[in-house]
Amino acid sequence: MNIENKAPARGRVRTMKKAERMTQEETLKQLLENHKKDLGDVVQIKVNERTYIEVPASLTETERRERVKNYLKNISIANKR
């Protein structure tokens, strides 16, 4: 059986060389950087001696406390698994 590629030349996509492809780690770093840019100004909140979380600077003190409470709740659930 003889199959021909009938796609128009301008419809064909140039294949990327291996060196041009991003690794999974690079992709995740870029995604995180883009997300941080979208957030705008952020503040870091100290949760414990080793942990800080970043929240938008526009949050009120009550909203920040709620975020910390949710973070601690989610961490305790994750540690039980």
The model's pLDDT over 10-40, given as tens digits with 9 standing for 90+, comes to 666 666 666 667 789 999 999 988 988 887 8
Please report the DSSP string for 21-78 in residue order: SPPHHHHHHHHHHHHHHHH-SEEEEE-SSS-EEEEETTS-HHHHHHHHHHHHHHHHHH
Q: How far apart are CA 56 and CA 41, in angstroms?
A: 6
Residue 34 located in a structural domain: no
- State pTM to two decimals: 0.53
Give the rounded percent of residues in the chain with a pLDDT score beyond 70: 74
Q: Looking at residue 17, what DSSP letter applies?
A: P
Count how many domains the chain has.
1
Mean pLDDT of the chain, nearest integer: 82
Residue 46 located in a structural domain: yes
Residue 31 located in a structural domain: no
Residue 66 located in a structural domain: yes
Q: What is the pLDDT of residue 59?
A: 93
Q: What is the pLDDT of residue 21?
A: 76
- List the domain range (segments joined by +) for residue 52: 41-81
Residue 22 located in a structural domain: no
